[in-house]
């Protein structure tokens, strides 16, 4: 028996992948979505800033999305893609191999957090990264920002928009005098010294403890994590070009430099929110369908010519 040829295999069933699958399913394309089931915002109880879905649990959005795409005949596979060979042959950890005409990679991004006690446990709860996702919920509260990597000071200056009580913990950051002036001018208190741990009481963050034993009371701490594309090797393995930050380069529709391969959402842009990731998936789907239509027309003309080029009279 011949293997099913999917028009599109979507790798990753987060907001970007499911949004693409919805558009492609409605365009009557044969689509499979393979999802490993670990979306980036899973630790958060609520998803903010998505018009008409503000405050919805992240899992609720995905459950609704899966039901919608299934209604248009999209196949959903709970599995992990472990390789994609030219052609395209998509290998799943469970042993299946799917054949596809086009590929959309929407595998998201991995957040790299510093090894400070408490950081992993509080991630997405009161150890936060995105003020647009969580700033409103901690407005006017005592907030901390951890200095870890380039961009940490900008992060503190941004977070200041949500509270008058912001402390910048220098930690391992190499603070310049110009940055210190900026922080002080904006009323951000600078606390020197390495951070030893986040203090947690009754399942709530209550402070930041420094290596010298001082504890600075805080209700939330922001951090700018490092970002690495998830399963980025699938894209580079197909020959897609990447930028200096290691993210694949795409055009406005998410088309990569490799024939037939698109990428959308956080795997391309770690700053993309849920709504913009979903929008990128939708834009990619429309471009992929257009590309398939073009190929369908070329094949039809070849078949038509091979058959002697006889037009059937209307």
Ligand X SMILES: Cc1cc2nc3c(=O)[nH]c(=O)nc-3n(C[C@H](O)[C@H](O)[C@H](O)COP(=O)(O)OP(=O)(O)OC[C@H]3O[C@@H](n4cnc5c(N)ncnc54)[C@H](O)[C@@H]3O)c2cc1C
Please state the three-class secondary structure of the chain as a single string.
Answer: CCCCEEEEEEECCCHHHHHHHHHHHHCCCCEEEEECCCCCCCCCCCECCCCCCCCECHHHHHHHHHHHHHCCCCEEEECCEEEEECCCEEEECCCCEEEEEEEEECCCEEEECCCCCCHHHHECCCEECCHHHHCHHHCCCCEEEECCCCCHHHHHHHHCCCCCCEEEECCCCCCCHHHHHHHHHCCCEEECCCEEEEEEECCEEEEEEECCCCEEECCEEECCCEEEECCHHHHHHCCCCECCCCCECCCCCCECCCCCEEECHHHCCCCCCHHHHHHHHHHHHHHHHHHHHHHHHHHHHHHHHHCCCCCCCC
Q: Are residues 89 and 97 in contact, defined by beta-carbon separation less than 8 angstroms?
A: yes
If one asks whether residue 39 binds ligand X (CB under 6 A), the answer comes out as yes
If one asks whether residue 230 binds ligand X (CB under 6 A), the answer comes out as yes
Query: Cβ contacts of residue 150 below 8 Å, gap of 6+?
Result: none
Distance CA(7)–CA(251), nearest Å, equals: 21
- Least spacing, CB of residue 7 vs ligand X, in Å: 18
Region of 13-21, 148-156, 186-194, 253-261 interacting with ligand X (CB under 6 A) = 13-21
Region of 101-109, 146-154, 157-165, 247-255 interacting with ligand X (CB under 6 A) = 101-109
Region of 139-147, 164-172, 191-199, 271-279 interacting with ligand X (CB under 6 A) = 271-279
If one asks whether residue 126 binds ligand X (CB under 6 A), the answer comes out as no
Region of 63-71, 103-111, 236-244, 305-313 interacting with ligand X (CB under 6 A) = 103-111
Binding residue for ligand X, selected from 148, 256, 277, 282, defined by CB under 6 A? 277
- According to DSSP, the residues that pair with 47 across neighbouring strands are 56
If one asks whether residue 237 binds ligand X (CB under 6 A), the answer comes out as no
If one asks whether residue 265 binds ligand X (CB under 6 A), the answer comes out as yes
If one asks whether residue 21 binds ligand X (CB under 6 A), the answer comes out as no
Nearer to ligand X, 84 or 183 (CB): 84
If one asks whether residue 131 binds ligand X (CB under 6 A), the answer comes out as no
If one asks whether residue 133 binds ligand X (CB under 6 A), the answer comes out as yes
- Least spacing, CB of residue 139 vs ligand X, in Å: 15
- Least spacing, CB of residue 278 vs ligand X, in Å: 8
Q: What are phi and psi of 268, to 5 degrees?
A: -100, -40
Binding residue for ligand X, selected from 25, 65, 118, 124, defined by CB under 6 A? 124
If one asks whether residue 40 binds ligand X (CB under 6 A), the answer comes out as yes
Binding residue for ligand X, selected from 163, 273, 282, 289, defined by CB under 6 A? 273
If one asks whether residue 11 binds ligand X (CB under 6 A), the answer comes out as yes
If one asks whether residue 183 binds ligand X (CB under 6 A), the answer comes out as no
- According to DSSP, the residues that pair with 167 across neighbouring strands are 144, 189
Distance CA(123)–CA(182), nearest Å, equals: 28
If one asks whether residue 122 binds ligand X (CB under 6 A), the answer comes out as no
Nearer to ligand X, 148 or 273 (CB): 273
Pick out residues in 149-178 that bind ligand X (CB under 6 A). none
If one asks whether residue 135 binds ligand X (CB under 6 A), the answer comes out as no
- Least spacing, CB of residue 303 vs ligand X, in Å: 35
**Which residue ranges make up the site for ligand X (CB under 6 A)?**
11-17, 34-41, 43-44, 47-50, 80-81, 106-108, 111, 124, 130, 133, 230-231, 265-266, 272-275, 277
């Amino acid at each position: 028996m011949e293997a099913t040829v999917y028009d599109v295999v979507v790798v990753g069933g987060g907001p970007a992948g499911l949004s693409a699958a919805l558009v492609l399913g409605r365009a009557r394309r044969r689509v499979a979505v393979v999802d490993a089931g670990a979306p980036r915002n899973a630790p958060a109880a609520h998803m903010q800033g998505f018009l008409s879905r503000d405050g919805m649990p992240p899992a609720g959005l995905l459950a609704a999305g899966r039901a919608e795409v299934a209604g248009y005949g999209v196949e959903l596979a709970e599995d992990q893609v472990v390789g994609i060979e030219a052609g395209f042959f998509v290998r799943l950890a469970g042993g299946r191999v799917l054949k596809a005409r086009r590929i959309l990679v929407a595998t998201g991004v991995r957040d790299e957090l510093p090894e400070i006690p408490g950081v992993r446990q509080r991630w997405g709860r009161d150890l936060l990264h995105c003020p647009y996702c969580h700033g409103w919920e901690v407005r006017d509260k005592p907030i901390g920002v951890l200095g870890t990597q380039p961009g940490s000071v900008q992060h503190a200056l941004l977070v200041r928009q949500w509270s008058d009580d912001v402390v910048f913990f220098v930690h391992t950051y190499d603070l310049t005098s110009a940055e210190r002036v900026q922080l002080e001018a904006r009323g951000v208190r600078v606390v020197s010294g390495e951070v030893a741990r986040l203090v947690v009481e009754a399942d709530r963050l209550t402070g930041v403890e420094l290596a010298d034993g001082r504890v600075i009371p805080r209700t939330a701490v922001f951090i700018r994590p490092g970002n690495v594309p998830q399963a980025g090797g699938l894209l580079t393995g197909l020959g897609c070009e990447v930028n200096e930050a290691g993210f694949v380069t795409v055009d406005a529709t998410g088309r990569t430099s490799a024939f037939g391969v698109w990428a959308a959402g956080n795997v391309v842009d770690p700053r993309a929110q849920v709504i913009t990731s979903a929008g990128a998936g939708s834009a990619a789907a429309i471009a992929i369908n257009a590309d398939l239509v073009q190929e369908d027309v070329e094949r039809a003309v070849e078949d038509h010519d091979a058959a002697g080029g006889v037009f059937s009279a209307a």
